[in-house]
Structures are given as structure tokens and as C-alpha cells.
A = this chain, B = another copy of it.
Amino acid sequence: MTSPAGIAAAAVGKRILPVILSGGGGTRLWPLSRPACPKQFLPLIDARSMLQLTAARVGDRSLFAPPIVVGSAAQADLIERQLADAHSSPASLILEPCGRNTAPAIALAALVAPPDSLLLVMPSDHHIQYPDLFRQAVAAGAAAARGDWLVTFGIRPDRPETGYGYIRRGEAIGPGVFRADRFVEKPDAATAVAYLTDGSYDWNGGIFLFRAAALLNELAEHAPDILAVAQAALRDTGVEQRRVQPNAEAFASAPSQSIDRAVMERSRRVAVVPVDMGWSDVGSWDSLHTVASQDSDGNALQGAATAIETRNCLLHTDGPRLVTVGVEDLIVVVSGDAVLVMRRGESQRVGAIAAALEGGSS
């Protein structure tokens, strides 16, 4: 089933093959993240971008092969430059002609990968505070993945979050690995509280581990249209400098669907490895404030920011000097030609505000 754009099995060997999904382009960190430079390319946590940190997490070449990166064609140069700087140049860079959510993107990666390889699928813009625990969980899940389980990683909830999917743990199927009894999309508030109380639900962190062939089999069963489109898009595809360019016309006909909905909610062979690794999707300014390093007054300062009698604020500036005096619980972002001043706790609204202001979509 390997396409002409495929990676040779010998190049991967026994190693896990990371698949980094870099196609997202949200506006939830407006005005910092814009369509031209989404969150994964920004140095939000430290001097490295989120993409670079993601690649570094699987940078041990004795355990992990050079990654497959699936990203936007418009950002190919940016991706390659950032990964080269991080000494993680991809084995294959699959350039989506347009965004079609995660299921088509993962299908492309699974077709390019050796069928027997273990794919570790990761969003490019999540933060993981304890990467050692992450790698331990991956190792724990590997045996199940070799047995053709679709392995997910479950994040222990600390609040009734309605922005994430949830996974219910079933019986143990191995050390630290459980059958996933239910796989549910974002719940309403009451359901989220029930899940938190129940204790057997974890957040779906959007990180997956499976054999390429196993995922393709599940796609064939549950989402054959997506598999067919991905195969068609890769047919007669040219590969240049390790860049794979799927056929734009063919790929555009793919339904825009998440892998959660296309496969995980339907498959009977989904496993979950719970892991408490300090995960955050950094999906809002508030979550960035939580994740970023703070001074003794609870301020996270990024760029030329001066905080005078200021507490519990996130101050981010790309360049202009930012000075705050006598304020608390604010998020202040100075980026490009815009300035955002927002009370903490309001940042879920940023996407909608950015869309209204810039005429884009959140």
C-alpha cells in the first residue's frame, strides 16, 4: 500500500516514527497568532517554537526515526527552516494543499509510512511539561499498538473543561494501558462536571500511537471515503527534496473531519494510556499564562515588558516597549499592528473577536 512517496521501512527500523501535525491555523492567540504565522511557529514557552519543542520531544534518534510532518503548503519553508534549526529535519514533509482537519492528514501520513511502522501522531502546538513521562507513556503504549490497538493518551482532568474530547477508561489490557470504553467529543458543561466527578474519564490530548497498517484498516472500515481520497491524492505524486505534494484537486474533495470522529469514536480497538505529563494545548492566552514561567508576582513577561506594581498578568510584546502600572489579572499582548488588553479568564473569546475584527474564522 506504500505510495511512490513512501518512506523505506529500513530507514525506520524498529524505531517509532513521529508524525507531527502542523496544519492548524487558529486565531485563539490573536493578535499574536495570525493565519500567516500560527501558534506552532511561535516561541511561546521558551526561545524555541512549539513545533521545535514538539520535534525535540522525539529527538532521540535511537528511539524515534526522523519525523513525518504534515503541514500547510504555504508554510513549507518555515517548517523546514524551524526543524533544521532544531536538528530535526523531517524524513518527509507532506504539504496539504488545503486544510481538511486531522483524519485526511493522518491518512496521508499512514500511506507514506512503512505499513508496519508505529506512528506517534502529535499536534505541533501542545505543551508537555514533563517529556520524560510522555516518552514513558509512549513506551507503555507501544506493545498495545503493535497488537493493532489504536493507542490514545489520556490527560487527567483538573476542571470540567468543555473544550476537549474525553475518553473513558475500561479494563486494563496491559501495564498502564486500558481499553477505551467510550470516546466522546466535547461535552456540555453538565456532562463535563459528571465526567470529572466520575473519575474514569480522561481528556483526549489528540496524541495517538498505532501501526500505520492498523490505522489504514480502521479507515477502510469506518471512513473509506477519506482513505480513498488520500490514496488518490498521493497517486503519481512527485517527491522533491523529501517534500510530498498531494494532488490538490483530489485532496480538496476530502471531507473535513477529525480522526476522533472518523475513527476513534467508531473503532472497537481503541486503547488509552493515562499520563500526567503537564499537558496543555495552549489554546488560549489564559492557558499560556498558566504554562509560561512566572515571576514571584505571578507575572509572565515575554519581550520588552516592564511590570510595575503588577500582579498575575501575562505581558507579551513582539517589539514595542510595554509598561504596566498598578494592574492585576490582565493579559496584554502587543503584536504586529494590534494591542489586546483583556481581563484574565476572558481569553476563550479571543477567537471570535479576532474573527470579527479581521474578517477571518476562528
Contacts and interface: CB of A to CB of B under 8 A. Distances in A.
A342 B357 contact: no
Contact of A341 (B31, B319, B322, B353): B322
- Taken together, the copies of this chain in the complex come to 2
Query: What is the interface of chain A mostly: helix, strand, loop, or mixed?
Result: strand
A337 interface: yes
B308 A353 contact: yes
A146 B220 CA distance: 102
A254 interface: no
A323 interface: yes
Contacts of A325: 340-343, 346, 349-350, 353
A11 interface: no
A332 interface: yes
A33 interface: no
B357 A321 contact: yes
Contacts of A55: none
A338 B271 CA distance: 52
Interface residues of A, number: 29
Contact of A339 (B332, B337, B350, B353): B332
Contacts of A334: 320, 334, 339
Contact of A323 (B321, B326, B353): B353
Contacts of A320: 334, 337-339
Given A321-B337, A321-B338, A337-B321, A343 B327 contact: yes
A349 B341 CA distance: 21
Given A325-B341, A327-B343, A339-B339, 17 more contacts: A31-B323, A320-B334, A321-B337, A321-B338, A321-B339, A322-B338, A322-B341, A323-B353, A323-B357, A325-B340, A325-B346, A325-B350, A325-B353, A326-B343, A326-B346, A332-B339, A334-B334
